[in-house]
Structure 1
């Protein structure tokens, strides 16, 4: 895989088109694939705010012979799986997939006062009165699930703090991350409350940024400059009763089904995973995904407590598996919507992660999304 990213920032100083073009160009250059050979493009095309149609990227990069294109809904692993399926079925040879987010006024209070962050009203719901528009819907959903988890399973704010602090500790070594200032459990507990028990540090923050990946077959990848990173499996699932983002499934039913589907497609088990990237758009989602991967409903708090290092201010699941080595959405920033985990996993499996590098990392699991909108993958070294 070739990987690339734009700057990630609260205010990048450029528009969403420039961000995606920069990330896409960087991914193509990193891949070692000639620009003219890129013949497939897929972009995350979210409904929550204006995003970029693949045709824009084709024009911006001057790709001359694109014979397949598509769009995918968040999370970002959906774009990766769409691209991989296109390559596997022969619709294209080299697929560029990307995701860009911009701190539009519908996700940022500060952005509402910036004339350059207003988008046409038909692009999304500027009044935030549609149930699925972020964060008017998803934020309330997450707070409700978090409350239910605490009541049903006895999780505490300190448990969720461990997720947030772990990610911030790891982000301090990630030059891409927007939020790198170290913090403690005490800092988390003192953060402003958004919707009790969910505080400001339980939710990812909107930023400007874009990330991209080039996908091809294992055979073609042998001729490219970087060590191969292979897709072992993809999977997704729906909860039993599907109300999209609004179904308050505090037991993580969809996550458990998705994880079951994922490992059913692989000879690996969760015990074989070296790197864990649970989706963390909200800390409660990371909790549910960790339970689905490693324990059972309500057992996440115990897992976090036994995996926590006060000295390091980070998690090592079962004393071995690091979590969100790049900082996750919570600290790298919301522009990634899980794509940051893909980029980081590829870097780790190539051995290119610098001071973040985990020794002998050969397998990574990336979970994405929530409830009725999820897609997960296992990546392995070639």
Structure 2
């Protein structure tokens, strides 16, 4: 991982190179050992922010696999999945997967940094006349529908934010360093109702990279190996037709089913989860879709403190994107690796099986994997 900052510390490609070199060193390898590179950038970033030329910038040569992976926020996990399949197929022996982003620059607000031109036609073109600009408004509408259907209040969203902050206070990498109470959450300004400021993720500049290789090679490395036992994806497709509730039925359920089946385990076997949490409501829905609680039960589960330190099911133990750092799929990926390794320090939890999950778009594209410090289950 590169340094993380709310200040401009260099372009995305430069942060990516740092993360790549650190990941290679962490794995006990040399640049000459790497024969694969998978790259992911933010959907709103320029192509030049993280180009294919990254292999040259990083000093990598004679690669047998090199590609840009674009599945929006789910790409962090999808890169690892693709790398694992490539290694298993013999297409590469050691693949670096990297995500980098540098949206925060002098003179540009966070809102501007994540802004995109709106098309005049098609699905997105139909939204602009209604005032539906940007992801916050779309997620807010989805959250409101979810809350209405399950009789939830802002206390349930606040419980998620407070739990993530409690975890962040145990994470030296987390950006948010001050305690957060339910009152603090409720008193923070609305961004788009029902989302207060602390219901929204915290973007940073930085990069995350991991090395994927064979189980045999990883076992000989200087760091504890993280083994992948199950992988899954779920992409339901989106329609504006009445009765199709995209905000309640998402592809996470399908992704989870695939990963559980591959690993030969179920939701009750998972010790902790690291999930994409661009907004508080997203954690609640994913808890349900991945089978950790019954449908509609995510709010009560969070309000009872079950996802917080000391709870029955730790979620986003590094603070997540809400209080840790928002690096899209790189956030759950990095914390998932640290937890599975057993190197998370004060925030370390039981980690025989860790679920790491990410999504892209408006919770349209989902990918997850089940990892463990054990070579076999």
TM-score (norm 1): 0.85
2:147 is matched with which residue? 150
Sort the Cα spacing of 1:136 and 1:40 in 2 relative to 1 into closer, same or farther, 3 A.
Answer: farther
Q: What is the alpha-carbon distance in structure 1 between the residues aligned to residue 342 and residue 211 of structure 2?
A: 18
Q: What is the alpha-carbon distance in structure 1 between the residues aligned to residue 110 and residue 316 of structure 2?
A: 28
**CA apart distance, 1:266:** 1.7
Sort the Cα spacing of 1:82 and 1:144 in 2 relative to 1 into closer, same or farther, 3 A.
Answer: same
1:178 is matched with which residue? 175
Q: What is the alpha-carbon distance in structure 2 between the residues aligned to residue 242 and residue 328 of structure 1?
A: 29
With 256-265 and 285-294 compared, the bigger mean Cα shift is at 256-265
1:211 is matched with which residue? 208
2:296 is matched with which residue? 298
Contact 2:35 2:63 in 1 (8 A): yes
Aligned-residue CA RMSD in angstroms? 2.7
1:341 to 324, 328, 332: 332
2:84 is matched with which residue? 84
Residue-by-residue CA offset, 1:161-181 (whole Å, 9 max, x unaligned): 111111111111212112222
Sort the Cα spacing of 1:91 and 1:136 in 2 relative to 1 into closer, same or farther, 3 A.
Answer: farther
What aligned pairs does 1:112-191 form with structure 2 within 5 A after superposition?
126-127=116-117, 131=124, 136-191=133-188
Sort the Cα spacing of 1:219 and 1:320 in 2 relative to 1 into closer, same or farther, 3 A.
Answer: same
Q: What is the alpha-carbon distance in structure 1 between the residues aligned to residue 245 and residue 137 of structure 2?
A: 10
Q: What is the alpha-carbon distance in structure 1 between the residues aligned to residue 216 and residue 133 of structure 2?
A: 46
Contact 1:41 1:54 in 2 (8 A): no
Q: What is the alpha-carbon distance in structure 1 between the residues aligned to residue 215 and residue 306 of structure 2?
A: 37
Residue-by-residue CA offset, 1:335-382 (whole Å, 9 max, x unaligned): x21322222222222221122222x42110012115322111111113
Contact 1:104 1:111 in 2 (8 A): no
2:252 is matched with which residue? 255
1:372 equivalent in alignment to 2:370: no
Sort the Cα spacing of 1:302 and 1:15 in 2 relative to 1 into closer, same or farther, 3 A.
Answer: same
Contact 2:42 2:100 in 1 (8 A): no
SS of alignment partner, residue 55 of structure 2 = helix
Instruction: Give structure 2 stretches of 5+ with no counterpart.
Output: none
With 156-165 and 13-22 compared, the bigger mean Cα shift is at 13-22
1:198 to 195, 210, 231: 195
Residue-by-residue CA offset, 1:272-298 (whole Å, 9 max, x unaligned): 111111220111111110111212321
1:39 to 27, 35, 40: 35
**CA apart distance, 1:101:** 1.2
2:342 is matched with which residue? 351
Contact 1:153 1:298 in 2 (8 A): yes
1:13 equivalent in alignment to 2:3: no
**CA apart distance, 1:93:** 0.5
With 298-307 and 77-86 compared, the bigger mean Cα shift is at 298-307
Q: What is the alpha-carbon distance in structure 2 between the residues aligned to residue 46 and residue 276 of structure 1?
A: 23
1:329 to 321, 325, 342: 321
Instruction: Give structure 1 stretches of 5+ with no counterpart.
Output: 118-123
Q: What is the alpha-carbon distance in structure 2 between the residues aligned to residue 248 and residue 224 of structure 1?
A: 46
**CA apart distance, 1:18:** 1.6
Q: What is the alpha-carbon distance in structure 2 between the residues aligned to residue 22 and residue 162 of structure 1?
A: 36
TM-score (norm 2): 0.86
1:121 is matched with which residue? none
SS of alignment partner, residue 237 of structure 1 = strand
1:361 equivalent in alignment to 2:351: yes
Contact 2:250 2:364 in 1 (8 A): no
1:57 equivalent in alignment to 2:47: no
Contact 2:167 2:318 in 1 (8 A): yes
